[in-house]
Every structure is written in structure tokens, then in C-alpha cells.
Amino acid sequence: MRKLLVLFALLAAVPALVFAQAQPPAPGPSGAPWTRPDFGAMRASMQQQEALHKQMRAKILGVLTPAHRNLLASLVGQLAISANPDPRAVIQKLDAALSSGEKQAILNAAQSFMTQERAFHQQMMAKFRAANPNMPSPRPMPSGGERMHRTPDAGALLFMVATGEGHGHRMMGPRGGFMRRPRPSPTP
């Protein structure tokens, strides 16, 4: 008898589950329903951003002399196995070793990347907004809330590229500037 009651309860619940799945999407801020996101377009955008990052990395590493590439590899390797890693000291050594031409080429590559990344982000957001007019607008920054972004020096940029610190969205802030985040200590 108990099994029969459980069976009837399950059968009664099936139409409720089907009805719940057939409901239209929740309305957006303007009251109109949101459309499903285009995951294919989002994936393509992320792949394009990844290509921009790889292009910047190749440009930055391409301007180094073979001696400076070896120095970079040596310093990053020493940092990786150090009992007391000091990334700032590595950045200072890199910056001191780079020629003025290498520094300028690294800074130019980073500036070009930031410009391309910002334009790509604006283009991507315009495309997503056109596909979904009910997409909410970003919240405006409060007065005086716009942060000043400082582009790191060439040694810091080179360090970020070599260690992967600048890979993906970790390098770029929400407004297109470089971000610094504390490095966790490799030892507990």
C-alpha cells in the first residue's frame, strides 16, 4: 500500500515538473525575458582574447636578446626553487639588464595589447547587447571612483609574461589596466 501511494505521488509530480520546465525565462530589468546566452560566441570571444595574449607574449619575448632570454630563464628558475622568493628583486634585475630599446619595445607591445584588448572588449559587449537588448547596462562608477592604472615597467611586464602572472584575465583589470595581485608564498 505504501509503495502504491509513493507511485501515485510521483505520477502526480511529473506534470508539475514538466510545467516548471516549460516556463519562459525570468524577465530582465526592463520586464522583457532574457534570451539564452550564445555560448558559441562567448567561446569564440575567449579564444580571440587568448590569441591576443599569445601574440603579446610572443612580441615581448621576441624583442629580447639571447643573453637576456637566458637571464630571464635563470632568474625565474631560481625564483621557483628559492626558499624565500623575492619577485621584486627579480623584476629589478630584469629591468636593470634590459637595454633602452628592449624596454621601449616591451612597453610598446604592452600598450598595443591594452588598446587591442579594450577595443575587442567594447566590440564584444556591443555584439552581446545587440543580441540581447534587455542585457543590463554596467553600473556607473561613483564620482571619483575611476581608478588610475599604472602600466608596470618593462621588467615587471617581462616577469608577468614569463611566469604566467599576466595570463588571461588576471593581467587585465576591469577597465583595461594592468593589475597587481600578491604572489602566494610557495612555502607554507
> Is the pLDDT assigned to residue 127 strictly greater than 70?
yes
Please answer whether residues 83 and 187 qualify as being in contact, where contact means their C-beta atoms are separated by less than 8 angstroms: yes
Q: Is residue 185 in some structural domain?
A: no
What is the number of structural domains in the chain?
1
**pLDDT band at 8, cuts 50/70/90?**
low
Residues 6+ positions from 185 with CB-CB distance below 8 Å: 85
Does the predicted TM-score (pTM) go above 0.75? no
* Complete DSSP assignment for 10-54: HHHHHHHHHHHHTSPPPB-TTSSBPPPP-HHHHHHHHHHHHHHHH
- pLDDT of 134 reads 72
Matching residue, cell 607554507 = 188
Structure-block grid coordinates of residue 44: 569564440
> Is the pLDDT assigned to residue 182 strictly greater than 70?
no
Q: Is residue 50 in some structural domain?
A: yes
Q: Is residue 9 in some structural domain?
A: no
Domain that holds residue 159: 39-133+151-168
Q: 12-45: per-residue pLDDT in tens? A: 665 555 555 555 555 555 555 556 667 887 888 8
Q: How far apart are the C-alpha atoms of 55 and 52, rounded to whole Å?
A: 5
Q: Is residue 174 in some structural domain?
A: no
Q: Please state, rounded to an integer, the average pLDDT across all residues of the chain.
A: 75
Map residue 2 onto helix, strand or coil.
helix
Q: Is residue 70 in some structural domain?
A: yes
Q: Is residue 128 in some structural domain?
A: yes
Q: For Cα atoms 154, 63, 108, give the angle at the middle one, nearest 5 degrees.
A: 50
Give backbone dihedrals phi and psi of 79, rounded to 5 degrees, phi first.
-65, -40
Q: Is residue 121 in some structural domain?
A: yes
Tell me which of 67 and 147 has the higher pLDDT: 67
Average pLDDT over residues 110-121: 90
Q: Is residue 68 in some structural domain?
A: yes
**pLDDT band at 101, cuts 50/70/90?**
very high
| Alpha-carbon torsion angle 150, 154, 157, 162, nearest 10 | -170
Give backbone dihedrals phi and psi of 160, rounded to 5 degrees, phi first.
-60, -40
**pLDDT band at 152, cuts 50/70/90?**
confident
Q: How far apart are the C-alpha atoms of 179 and 101, rounded to whole Å?
A: 25
Residue type, 16: A
Please answer whether residues 35 and 41 qualify as being in contact, where contact means their C-beta atoms are separated by less than 8 angstroms: no
